[in-house]
């Protein structure tokens, strides 16, 4: 199966409505009349869309708690106190014991610790079958 690129008609971005084009002046006139009739009917029944949108936007509560914007107008949220603890690099871990003989490679990049000669022999035989 191959992978195909689809055209821009399947895109979810860029779905803005463009200005409607009409074939004739009559169609444009008819559309304008229908739009004005619709708006008049909405006003008649008290459903004014633009006013509702404006009132809703003005009546909305602030989405940020405690401050108005990220630029510092108003009170800022509290930060954690400075503890002055040093940030130092951890010491590298090095094996200092004497029980481990070395590191054997069981399969590809699978490194395993070897603690006895018998384990080393077993690992070498496992790899060769």
Residue 101, domain member (yes or no): yes
Whether 57 is in a domain gets the answer: yes
pTM summary value: 0.29
Residue 97: pLDDT band with limits 50, 70, 90? confident
Confidence of residue 48 (pLDDT cuts 50, 70, 90): confident
Residue range(s) defining the domain that contains residue 103? 97-129
Average pLDDT score over residue span 96-118:
87
DSSP state at residue 19: P
> What DSSP string describes 1-37?
-------GGG-SS--PPPPP--SSHHHHHHHHHHHHH
The reply to whether 123 falls in a domain is yes
Distance CA 102, CA 110 (A): 14
């Amino acid at each position: 199966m191959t992978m195909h690129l689809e055209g821009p008609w399947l895109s979810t971005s860029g779905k803005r409505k463009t200005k409607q084009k009409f074939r004739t002046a009559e169609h444009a006139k008819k559309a304008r009349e229908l739009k004005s009739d619709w708006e008049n009917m909405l006003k008649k029944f008290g459903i004014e869309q633009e006013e509702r949108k404006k009132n809703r936007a003005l009546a909305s509560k602030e989405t940020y708690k405690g401050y108005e914007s990220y630029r510092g107008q108003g009170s800022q949220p509290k930060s954690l106190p400075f503890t002055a603890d040093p940030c130092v690099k951890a010491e590298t871990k090095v094996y200092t014991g004497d029980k481990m003989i070395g590191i054997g490679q069981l399969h590809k990049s699978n490194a395993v610790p070897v603690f006895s000669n018998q384990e080393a022999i077993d690992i070498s035989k496992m790899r060769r079958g």
